[in-house]
C-alpha cells in the first residue's frame, strides 16, 4: 500500500497541471505535432515528385502501422503508433544515411532513373532542404493570417514608463525616449524590444535612443526576472524595465501581412540561433532545454485557451522544427546537406565509412539530447523534487 500511495503521488505531479484536463495534453500535442510533421515530410515528398523521384513510403509516426493505404503511384501512406516524427522513404534509399539499397544498381535503367541516388546532387539537396523550408513557409502563412485577420502588435518603440529600480532606470532611459536600435539591431515596434533582450540576461547592450531630436547611446544590462504565467508556472526572462506608452494592436493590409510574417519568422529564427550559440559557449544551461513532454504541456494549455492560441503555437514550433532540422547533424536534414555540399565541392560523395560513423555520432547525440530534455521536462513538472521528498 505505501508503494501504491507513492505511485499515486508521483502520477498526481505529472497529471495535475493547473486544471487543464489530462486528455487535452495528448490531444493538443497531436493537433500541433501531427500537422507539422506532415507539412515537413510533405515538403520532401512534393519536391521529390517535382524532381521525378518515386516515394515508396510516406509515414507519420514511427513503429507499427495503425492505418495505411497505397496510392496509384505505388506510395504507401501510413500512420505509426508513436507520433514523434515521420519520414519519406524514396525509391533506392536504404537508410537514414541515404545510402543506396543493395538492389539499386540492378534495377532497369528506366526505373533507376526515378530513384533518389540517381539524382544529381543539386536535386537531392533540394529535396532534403524542402522539409525545413516548408516548415518556415507554413509558419509564415499562419503568422500572415494572424497579421491580416486577427491583428499584430504595432505599438511604436517609445518608452511610456520606466520601472523603478530597473536596468533602464539605472542606465538613464526616460519616458518619451524612442528606442532606435539595440546592439545595432533596428527596433521598429515596441514588441521588438522584449524579443531582443529576453534571452540575454546580464549582457550589456548598446541601446540607441532618440531624445529631443538627437540620438544618444546608453549601456543597458537586462536583468533576469522570475514571473508566473496564467497557469501558475514560473518562468524567467530578461527585461530592461520599460513599458509602451500606448498599446496598439491592428490588422495589417493583406498585401503587407506576408512581409510582417516573414519579419517575425526571421526574428524567431535569429533568437533561436542566438540561444543555441549561448548553449554551445556555456552561457546558457542545458537545463533550459525542453522536449516532447513540455511541448505536450504547452500544447494542452494552448488548446485550453482556444484554437487561436493553439494555431499560433503551431507556427512557433514549426519555425523551431525547421531550424533544428537544418542543424548539421548526420541524422537531420542539415547533416545530409553538409554531405551534399562536400560532394558538390569534391565532385564525389564522402566515403561511405565516414558517413556511417557520422550517422552513428549523430544518432548518439540525438538520443543523448532526448534523454536530457526528457529529464528536464520531468523536473519542470516537479517530479524529481517530489520523489526526493518521498524518499527523504
The runs of H, that is alpha helices, within 179-332 are 192-197, 257-281, 292-305, 307-325
Measure the CA–CA gap between 321 and 254, rounded to whole angstroms: 26
Measure the CA–CA gap between 287 and 175, rounded to whole angstroms: 37
Measure the CA–CA gap between 301 and 314, rounded to whole angstroms: 13
For residue 267, what is its C-alpha cell?
Answer: 526574428
Q: How far is CA 321 from CA 213, 314, 324, in A?
A: 43, 10, 5
- The alpha carbons of the chain give a radius of gyration, in whole angstroms, of 24
Catalytic residue among 41, 274, 301, 356: 41
For residue 311, what is its C-alpha cell?
Answer: 494555431
Helix, strand, coil shares of the chain, percent, nearest 5, are 50, 20, 30
| SS3 (DSSP) at 336 | helix
Tell me whether residue 203 is one of the annotated catalytic residues. no
**Cβ proximity of 41 and 60 under 8 Å:** yes
**Cβ proximity of 115 and 287 under 8 Å:** no
**β-sheet bridge partners, residue 89:** 57
| SS3 (DSSP) at 278 | helix
Report which of 244, 261, 239 is spatially closest to residue 151, judged by C-alpha positions.
261
8-state DSSP, 306: -
Report which of 30, 33, 14 is spatially closest to residue 22, judged by C-alpha positions.
14
Sign (positive or negative) of CA dihedral 123, 126, 130, 131: positive
Report which of 363, 332, 338 is spatially closest to residue 40, judged by C-alpha positions.
332
Distance of CA 241 to the CA centre of its chain: 27
Q: Which residues are catalytic?
A: 41
Amino acid at each position: 500500500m505505501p508503494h501504491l500511495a507513492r505511485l499515486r503521488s508521483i502520477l498526481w505531479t505529472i497529471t495535475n497541471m493547473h486544471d487543464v484536463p489530462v486528455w487535452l495534453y495528448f490531444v493538443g500535442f497531436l493537433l500541433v505535432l501531427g500537422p507539422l510533421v506532415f507539412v515537413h515530410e510533405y515538403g520532401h515528398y512534393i519536391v521529390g515528385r517535382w524532381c521525378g523521384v518515386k516515394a515508396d513510403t510516406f509515414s507519420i509516426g514511427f513503429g507499427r502501422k495503425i492505418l495505411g493505404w497505397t496510392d496509384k503511384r505505388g506510395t504507401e501512406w501510413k500512420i505509426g503508433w508513436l507520433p514523434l516524427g515521420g519520414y519519406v522513404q524514396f525509391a533506392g534509399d536504404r537508410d537514414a544515411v541515404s545510402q543506396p539499397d543493395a538492389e539499386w544498381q540492378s534495377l532497369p535503367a528506366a526505373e533507376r532513373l526515378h530513384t533518389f541516388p540517381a539524382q544529381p546532387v543539386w536535386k537531392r539537396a533540394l529535396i532534403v532542404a524542402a522539409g525545413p523550408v516548408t516548415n518556415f513557409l507554413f509558419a509564415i502563412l499562419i503568422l500572415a493570417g494572424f497579421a491580416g485577420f486577427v491583428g499584430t502588435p504595432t505599438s511604436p518603440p517609445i518608452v511610456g514608463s520606466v520601472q523603478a529600480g530597473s536596468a533602464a532606470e539605472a542606465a538613464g532611459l526616460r519616458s518619451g525616449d524612442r528606442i532606435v536600435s539595440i546592439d545595432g539591431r533596428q527596433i521598429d515596434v515596441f514588441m521588438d524590444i522584449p524579443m531582443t533582450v529576453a534571452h540575454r540576461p546580464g549582457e550589456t547592450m548598446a541601446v540607441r535612443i532618440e531624445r529631443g531630436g538627437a540620438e544618444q547611446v546608453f549601456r543597458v544590462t537586462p536583468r533576469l526576472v522570475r514571473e508566473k504565467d496564467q497557469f501558475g508556472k514560473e518562468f524567467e526572462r530578461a527585461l530592461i524595465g520599460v513599458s509602451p506608452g500606448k498599446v496598439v494592436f491592428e490588422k495589417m493590409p493583406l498585401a503587407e501581412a506576408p512581409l510582417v510574417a516573414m519579419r517575425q519568422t526571421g526574428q524567431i529564427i535569429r533568437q533561436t540561433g542566438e540561444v543555441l550559440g549561448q548553449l554551445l559557449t556555456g552561457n546558457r544551461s542545458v537545463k533550459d532545454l525542453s522536449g516532447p513532454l513540455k511541448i505536450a504541456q504547452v500544447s494542452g494549455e494552448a488548446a485550453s485557451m482556444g484554437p487561436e492560441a493553439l494555431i499560433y503555437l503551431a507556427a512557433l514550433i514549426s519555425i523551431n522544427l525547421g531550424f533544428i532540422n537544418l542543424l548539421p547533424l548526420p541524422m537531420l536534414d542539415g547533416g545530409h546537406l553538409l554531405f551534399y555540399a562536400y560532394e558538390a565541392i569534391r565532385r564525389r560523395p564522402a566515403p561511405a565509412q565516414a558517413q556511417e560513423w557520422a550517422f552513428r555520432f549523430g544518432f548518439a547525440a540525438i538520443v543523448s539530447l532526448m534523454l536530457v530534455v526528457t529529464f528536464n521536462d520531468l523536473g519542470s513538472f516537479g517530479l524529481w523534487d517530489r520523489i526526493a521528498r518521498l524518499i527523504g
